Amino acid sequence: MNELPQKVAIVTGGGRDIGRAVSLKLAQEGAAVVVNYFDNPADASETARMIMDGGGKALAVQADATKADDVQKLVSTCINVFGPHIHILVNVAGGLVGRKKMEEMDEKFWDSVLDVNLKSAFLVTKAVLPHMPDGGAIVNFSSQAARDGGGFGAIAYATAKGGVLTFTRGLAKELGPRKIRVNCISPGMINTSFHNTFTKPEVRQKVAAMTPLGREGEAREVADLVLFLASARSSFVNGESIEINGGTYFV
């Protein structure tokens, strides 16, 4: 199918893992995709190349999503290359930064986690909205951690992702009159480099074994959900958080 013809999308953190899968999925459905990255140009360029090799339109753009000037550069580059409208925004950018208990955290660490997960969504959304026509779609990324407090040493991360949930709901109400839908996705254990870095293999195995479906999720499965929320198929879904965790947590 070709569900997003003539659409333009920005995917923050779009170069690898879930962000790459999302970028590829939107492009496969006809959208021109700006693949934003922070510090890994090779991955982002590879994602853009994969899209273009498949006949799609893509551009890799470096920007620190926690810096307003960088975000403005990202948006300006998008409209200069693909035209005046940005129809879809997917705020994937985020991260755990590190596992620290409350007694180990200082103000700098706390701020860095909230900035990369919550402030980034605020800054990019604010910059994109003047260029988003009525009927656009915003998809934010929260986490199962927002619901259950996260794993060991993830208090700051869980708090930031809880903020994304609230941000999503408030924005959905505010933008409703413009028919711009705002939703978020809350993944559980997904097979990505995030968990390769921050989660011990034995913990991953234990969580997978305890999951009713008996496995971790895959990035492509999350991307399919993003497509649903970004397309007309979800035309009456707004302000929602959709859990994708194989049944490990129910809202």
- Catalytic center residues: 157
Q: The tokens 């899968």 sit on which residue?
A: 21
Which tokens belong to 158? 């869980």
| CA dihedral angle for residue 67, residue 241, residue 157, residue 17, rounded to 10 degrees | -70
Identity at 232, one-letter amino acid code = A
- The answer for residues whose C-beta is within 8 angstroms of residue 246's C-beta and 6 or more apart is 188, 189, 211, 212, 213, 214, 215, 216, 217
Which tokens belong to 110? 């706390």
d(CA 189, CA 34): 26
d(CA 171, CA 201): 37
d(CA 135, CA 112): 33
